[in-house]
Amino acid sequence: MQTRKLITLLSGVLVLLLCLSACNEGGGDTAADSSGSSSTTVADSGASQQAATDTAASDAHADGQAEADSGMTMEKPGAPGTMAADFTLTDMSGAEHHLADYLADGKTVVLEWFNPGCSVVHYYYQESTAMVDAYKQLKEEKGDDVVWLAVISQDPAGRGGTDEEVNTAISEWGVPYPVLRDGSGVVGKSYGATRTPALYVISPDGQIQYNGALDQYQKGGDNPPVGTNYVIQAVHQVASGEAVSVAQTDAPG
């Protein structure tokens, strides 16, 4: 009897152990599945983050390249090789001057930014006569094929910009060409003219061929100016169909 009870008891214990073993295996599989799922999720998340990083890096590179390309292709106003900004301005005697009209007539146009209150401008007209001399030389050599226009972009109420000051300078300095009033400064900005005197040579096709100084004048240097007159040189080269050998210099004002 006792033996039978013992056998029954042992059988029950064995069944219990088998059940416990089965539960642990099932739990192990579930944990493995969960761990696998978790690992997959983390991997997917990592891949997504990497993809996002790659995309951001690619976009940043594209933006940087676009800026670089933009910087390479952007031209400053008045740069040699660009088209001259058209304008219509009135001179100090009341006559209108339209750039496009001169170009349509096949003229080469010299623009000179002018300001009687500037010491360098004063030098070119008072201590030296280099500006007027350059104009006279071109008129003798090229006649009416060259048009020389001075432009004053000063505030009409500012130093050197009043009608009285400008008209006095024209009279006393013997300025032989029209002086055009650009009171708003819009035309000056369209050419990037920030100093005086600054000169531009425009060929009949409307392209800026030269901008910068009249000659090799050095502020505070040994003057009167000697050496190359860049404006005369540019006008001659345009007339002969040559490329302008010196297309840009620094205006001294």
Instruction: Answer with the residue of higher pLDDT: 9 or 81.
Output: 81
Give the lowest-confidence range in 11-25, 162-176, 194-208: 11-25
Quick: pLDDT tens for 26-85: 333 333 333 333 333 333 434 444 444 344 444 434 444 444 444 445 678 999 999 999
**Does residue 235 have a pLDDT over 90?**
yes
Read off the pTM. Answer: 0.71
- Asked which of 47-51, 83-87, 121-125, 243-247 is least confident by mean pLDDT, the reply is 47-51
**What per-residue confidence (pLDDT) applies to 127?**
87
Cα-to-chain-centroid distance, residue 75: 5
The pLDDT tens digits of the residues spanning 146-199 come to 999 999 999 998 888 999 999 999 999 999 999 999 999 999 999 999 999 999
Whole-angstrom CA distances from 54 to 60, 69, 158 are 10, 22, 57
Is the peptide bond between 197 and the residue preceding it cis, with omega within 30 degrees of 0?
Answer: yes
Average pLDDT for the chain = 78
Closest CA to 150 of 101, 41, 173: 173
Mean pLDDT is lowest, of 55-59, 124-128, 203-207, for 55-59
- Alpha-helical segments (H) within 179-229: 186-191
Q: CA 111, CA 39: separation in Å to the nearest integer? A: 74
d(CA 215, CA 252): 10
Q: At 221, is the pLDDT very low, low, confident or very high (cuts 50, 70, 90)?
A: low
Side chain identity, residue 67: E
Look at residue 75 in the predicted model and tell me its pLDDT. 79
How far is the CA of 206 from the CAs of 4, 99, 103, in angstroms?
121, 9, 6
